[in-house]
Amino acid sequence: MKKIFEKIDQSRKLIIKLQRELTSRIAIGPENGGDGEYNKTIYVKSIIEKLDPDMIKEILVPDKRVSIGYRPNLIAKWQKAKDKPIIWILTHSDIVPPGDLSLWSSDPYKVKVEGNKIIGRGVEDNQHAFVSFYIAIKSIMETDKDMLKNPTGLVFVADEETGSEYGLKYILENHNDIFKKEDLIIVPDGGNEDGTMIEVAEKSMLWLKFIVHGMQCHASTPDRGKNSLYASAKLITQLVEILKKEFFLQDNLFEPSYSTFEPTKIEENVKNINTIPGKSIFYMDCRIIPFYKLNNVFNQIKNIANKVDNELSIKTEIEPVYWLEAPEPTPINSPVVKALSKAIEKIKGKKAVPKGIGGGTVAAFFRKKGFPAVVWSTVSDTAHKPDEYCLISNIIEDAKIFAYLMMH
C-alpha cells in the first residue's frame, strides 16, 4: 500500500496531462449549444482499456441532435468475478459552457497551471473526479494487482448537466442488471474544501420557464402597450419575497438549511432600446427542502403570477423545465457512508460529516431506485464559475481515498 500511495504522490505530471487532454475535448450537450460528449468519452475509453478491466461496456443513447447520432456512456469493471459488493465511482463527461469569456483569464479549453492550481472549464466539474479515480486504479494495477481487494467499477455518464435523460437516468431505466442494492456507490460531484462532507440527501428541484405576454409599442408612448419586461421584474420581485415567507421552514441536515427561489436566465426580447417589449421570458431555479411538496410550491407560484397578471392586464405562462421530488436520503449508517468515513479518517485524519445539499446530483436517481448512493469529493467550489479550477493536491488525496476503499 505504501508503494501505491507513493506512486499516487508522484502523479503531478500525469494529472496535468489528463486534465489538458480532457479539457481540450469539449463535451457540451445540445441544450447548451454543443455537439455532445463523444470525443471525450472515446479518449477516456482508450486510456481505461490499457488498465486491463475485466469488463468494459458502452451504452449509446440515440440523440439526433448531435452529429454522431447518440450520447455515449461508458462502464468499466475490475475483478468482476469476486462475490463482493462493487465499489462504483460515477463521474460525468459533460460540462457547462464557459459563459462570458471576458471573465476568464485564459482560454477555458486550454488548461493553465499555477503551482497547485489547474484552471479550465470542467477541471473540477467533473474531471477532478475521473482523474482521481484513474490515478487510484492505475497505481494499483501497475504496482500490485492483488492489492485490489474489492470489485471496483467506473461509470462515465453523459448529460449530467442537463437532466441525465441520455445518461444515468437512461441507464437505470433500461439496464437494471448493472447495480445492486448492496453495492457502494460514490458520486464525486460535490463536497467541501476539506473533503469531510458526505452528501446523503438533496433538496427537491424545480426549474421553471415564465413567458410574460404584454403588448409591444414605441417606448415614447408606453400607455399604448403593456411592458412585459416591467411585468417580469415585478413578478420576479413578488415571487422571491412571497415564496421565502411562505416556505420558511428549515432543516439542519441541509446546507443552506432553507429553501431557495432564485431567478436566473432571461432571454433576449427586443433588439432596440426604444421599443417596449411585448414578450419577455425568464427562468427560475427553486431548491426545496423535502418537507414541502413541489405541487404546493408550484400552485403558490401560479397564484402569485395570476395576481400580477390581473394587476397589470398581462398574461403569464409557466412551464416546468425540470421537476424532481427529493427521494429518501441515504441512511447515515449505510455501508457506503461507513466505508467512506473510515477512508477519510484514515487518509485525512478528519471526521466525516453526513449532510444534505441544495445542488442536484445524479445520486438522486440512484436513491429514487433504492440504491444508497453518496456524493463526496474534496472541492474548491468553482464549478460553473469563470476561471474554474481544481487543486492537484486534492486530486491526489482523493485518489488515495479511492485506492484505500479499493484495497480494504
Pull the grid cell for residue 143.
Answer: 504496482
Closest CA to 90 of 407, 402, 408: 402
CB distance 42 to 107 below 8 Å? no
Give catalytic residue positions.
94, 160
Question: How many Å is the maximal CA-CA distance in the chain?
Answer: 80
Backbone angles phi, psi at 201, to 5 degrees: -155, 155
Strand spans (E) along 267-352 = 275-276, 279-288, 315-324
Q: Which residues contact 398 (CB under 8 A, 6 or more apart)?
A: 128, 129, 132, 188, 195, 377, 378
Specify the pairing of strand 152-157 against strand 87-92.
parallel
Residue 112 CB coordination number (10 Å): 18
How many whole angstroms separate alpha carbon 150 and alpha carbon 340?
A: 14
Nearest CA to 15 out of 94, 133, 125 is that of 133
Contacts of 376 (CB under 8 A, 6+ apart): 186, 187, 188, 190, 191, 195, 197, 198, 199, 340
Report the alpha-carbon distance of residue 377 to residue 127 in Å, rounded: 12
Q: What is the C-alpha to C-alpha distance for residues 158 and 134, in angstroms, rounded to an integer?
A: 18
Q: Are 279 and 212 in contact (CB under 8 A)?
A: yes
Count of CB atoms situated within 10 Å of the CB of 178:
16
